Structure 1
Amino acid sequence: MTAPFQRKEGAGISSIGDGGHMRGERFFRTGHRPRRSTTTRWLVRAGCSVLLLTATVGPGRASAASADAPVTCGSVVTASVTLTGDLTCPGDALIVGADNVTIDLAGHTLRGAGTGTGVQVSPQGTAWTGTVIRDGRIEGFATSVGDDALTPHITVGLRDMTIAGGPVKLRGGAWPELSISGSSLRRCEVDAVDARQVRLTIDGCTLHRVSARSTYTTLTSSRVISGGLSFNENNAGLVTGNVFDNAPISADNNSWNFVLRDNVFKNADIAVRAGWAPGTLVEDNTFKNNSIGVYGDRSDATIARNRFIGNRTAGIYVRNSTSSTSSFIDNVFKGNGRDPSGLTDEAGHPVRGAIHIGRGSSPITLTGNVGKHNAGYFVWITPPAGVIDGGGNRGRPCGPQPLPLICH
């Protein structure tokens, strides 16, 4: 039987071409011999050409590792390998066992039976760096790629991967780095990511669900479809240049300095929910055909230069304003509030229109906002909530009167 993996030889640049053309992606490798366990080094000195050993990553897992031999289900991989066929495993598939290992699936599939991990990147808290998994599909595992414990500082990169079923899961002890990227959206599709205490970077992918807690997160140039993103206790999160289709974002529980820029949010109930997220910046986005574009509760947000188009209940609904630094600047609201959900604020007033501010202990500054063809109110501010008129707000009606805000 032909072994599904072969050991990769040659220089430190790994690439796969179509018709011999280089894709041009560089993967870091070193020329020195990977670190091995004491048992492995002893067997090498004994002159063994194929090394078979019992894995130390968990009970009942038989693994193989070799300087020359192929690698199969349950193996500890200590040098870069290339898949030559699909590999189906009843438990764990592969276990990373050295620094700078590239697992090249070469268009093939690692397939599980509903249990185990597709690729374990840090068994028992090891600290392997430079792991790259690329160009293939992982499906059917309880965890597709990840660790079984809190990990010290490691680096893991997923390149041009399709990952279905179990999540990519990394929970760090010293800020490991996880990057997921694709050369096109079709070549990078991930069902779920579960990250904690991680530096997470995702670029050029199709995603469904991302949960990030105590994480530095950057999400760029991706599509998020029929799922959502949940950010908890994050710092300096950056989400830019993405499309969210029926995929709401929530940023809550002390998520500081969160930036949403140049995204499209559509077809969600609440597209962006900002809870206690000090320093949130929402700018240059498009919100269309949601029920509510932005929902704020105790949020400290600057919402600037966004377009709110055809959101059925409201463009922006602030349930409770508690920060005097919140401001809405130069936003455009068109055709919002035409099919309201029946939602009311805490004082019982219907939420409908462009901007609805409910209960608040701190005023919000409104400057240069424009409303056209909205049903309900252009701006509604429930007494005794406050507002600071920054000038240049154009749209009608504003209420209830008397209101310290001029709407031209």
Structure 2
Amino acid sequence: MIRLPRILTSGWLAAVGAAALFGVLMSAPTAHAVPLTCGQTVTTSVVLDADLLNCPGDGLVVAAHGITIDLAGHTIDGVGLGVGIRNNGFDNTTVTDGAGTPGVVQEFDHGVLLDPGTSGTLVEGLTLQLNEIAGVELNNADVNNRVQDNLITQQAQRGVTLIGGSSGNVIADNTITFNQGEGVFVENSASNRLEGNLIADSGDAGLVLEGASGNTLLTNTVTNNSDGAIVLQYASNDNLVQGNTSSLNSDAGLTVSESTGNRLLSNTLQNSGDSGILLQDAHGSTVTGNDVSGNPGGIELSYSNNNLIRSNIANDGNGDAITLEGSLGNTLELNQANNNNGRGIYVSGEAASGAGNRLIGNTANANSGDGIAVSKAVHTLQGNIARDNNAWGIYADSGNIDAGGNRASGNGESAQCTGVVCTP
């Protein structure tokens, strides 16, 4: 059965080409149940009528445009070599399962491999397990391939990989679990959409972009992975990461390193082994509307410049809520940093005039340390609120800029603030 794809935004359609998108909806030739053998090239639509077991190389090889391979509840099984279902560049094909029990592709190097030039292919409703390199791999696959509603589990390495310039594809609504490497790995590939996937229990990070720009990561759930939940690194620029949820990962909820211009919006990143959001040598990003409560640290910037950190919630953490180290030209605005076991907001590192950070309208209440602490100079503080912290409400070294409107009361230090003037 060919399932209609989710309606995508007009901007994303323009990026991949509307004509290519609707190619997957073309009527495929009628599929018939036929006997097949391991390694067979398939040139017409087929329905498997039996399992293919112990295939010594490839399972099946797509060899025509516009055909459907229906596993019909059967298993394609290998001996640890080759590819379960290989597509060497044929378009508008479908690999699916029309039976009540999902078909299984297992014990190959790759479960499904879409090679260079493949476009408009749908991989749907399968169980891909116990393969060596990846359950599904797109290698320089063209636009509008769609991998959806599959169980991708227990690969010796990665669950899903997009590499070699695989651009304009959709990975949606899959369950990607118990893979020994990364759950999803995207390298040197752009304008892909990863949406609504459950990525859990990986032996490495959950979802990794490496040298991958302009991708959309939307409403994925990333949990209980052995490294970070979501990682953008090595010139992964201008990506949108929105509405994702992470918890119980061994490292940070969301890490951006050596990358620029990313948008991190409205994610819920909690109970991580490290900070909720970590920016390392990451510049020009927008970090707004995220909930990073309940982590060892909330939002951490290290040598990261010209970022907007706005309207985030960083409460109930085990350390400092928001920290900036050696980071310049950032705007921290309207964030909540309350009830943490460290400081609410901490800024360290000296800035030349005009290069400092701006702290505007933040709330830092009931923290175990200072509400807001700003060392060195020259940073700007305006309209912040700091109440009921165990130490200073606001502590600012001399030379910082008091732009007025800061308020403090009920803090452990009777003077409430130093380096800026605070009213109750």
- TM-score by length of structure 2 reads 0.72
- 1:139 corresponds, among 148, 153, 170, to 153
Q: Structure 2 CA distance, aligned partners of 1:239 and 1:403?
A: 33
CA drift of 1:310 comes to 0.4
**Would the alpha carbon gap of residues 399 and 365 (structure 1) be closer, same or farther in structure 2, given more than 3 Å must change?**
farther
Instruction: Name 2:305's counterpart in structure 1.
Output: 278
Residues 1:329 and 2:360 aligned together: yes
Select which of 106, 113, 132 maps to 1:95: 113
Going from structure 1 to structure 2, the CA distance change for 1:170 and 1:222 (only over 3 Å counts) comes to closer
Shift of 1:144: 0.9
State the alpha-carbon separation in 2 of the partners of residues 33 and 197 from structure 1: 37
8 A contact 2:280–2:301 mirrored in 1: yes
Q: How many residues align?
A: 338
Residue in structure 2 matched with residue 15 of structure 1 by the alignment: 4
Q: Distance between the aligned counterparts of 1:380 and 1:47, measured in 2? A: 71
Alpha-carbon distance, 1:294 to partner:
0.8
1:332-347 superposed matches below 5 A: 332-337=363-368
2:299 is aligned with 1:299: no
Instruction: Report the CA distance between 1:400 and its aligned residue.
Output: 9.2
- Deviations along 1:103-123, one digit per CA (max 9) or x if unpaired, are 111xx522225x22111101x
Corresponding residue for residue 391 of structure 2: 376
Cα separation, 1, equivalents of 2:419 and 2:374: 14
**Which residue is 2:128 aligned to?**
110
- CA-based RMSD of the aligned residues comes to 3.1
**Distance change in 2, residues 1:48/1:275 (3 Å):** closer
The answer on 1:239 being equivalent to 2:264 is yes
SS at match of 1:309: coil
Q: How does 1:21-170 map onto structure 2 within 5 Å?
A: 28-30=21-23, 61-66=57-62, 67=64, 70=70, 72=76, 74-77=84-87, 78=90, 79-84=93-98, 85-91=102-108, 92-97=110-115, 98-105=118-125, 108-112=126-130, 115-122=132-139, 126-141=140-155, 142-147=157-162, 151-152=164-165, 154-164=167-177, 165=179, 166-167=181-182, 168-170=184-186
Q: Distance in 2 between matches of 1:201 and 1:319?
A: 33
Classify the secondary structure of the residue corresponding to 1:308: coil
- Distance change in 2, residues 1:402/1:90 (3 Å): closer
Structural mapping, 1:334-373, within 5 Å = 334-337=365-368, 352-358=369-375, 360=376, 362-373=377-388
Letter in 1 for 2:149: D
Task: Give the structure 2 partner of residue 210 of structure 1.
Answer: 230
Q: Is the 8 A contact 2:337 2:344 kept in 1?
A: yes
Cα 1:371–1:47 shift into 2, 3 Å: closer
**Cα 1:321–1:87, aligned 2, differ >3 Å: closer, same or farther?**
farther
Residue 211 of structure 1 aligns to a residue whose secondary structure is: strand
- Over 3 Å counting, the alpha-carbon distance change for 1:263 and 1:75 in structure 2 is same
Q: 1:276 to 1:392 in 2, by over 3 A?
A: same
Which consecutive residues of structure 1, in runs of 5 or more, have no partner in the other structure? 1-7, 17-22, 35-45, 52-59, 183-187, 338-351
Aligned residue number for residue 291 of structure 2: 264
Deviation at 1:156, TM superposition (A): 2.3
Q: Which amino acid aligns with 2:61?
A: A
Residue 221 (structure 1) aligned to one of 243, 257, 260 = 243
CA distance 1:48–1:240, shift in 2 (3 Å): closer
- 8 A Cα contact 1:152 1:176, kept in partner: yes
Partner of 1:155, secondary structure, is coil
**Among 160, 171, 184, which residue is 2:187 paired with?**
171
Normalization by structure 1: what TM-score?
0.74
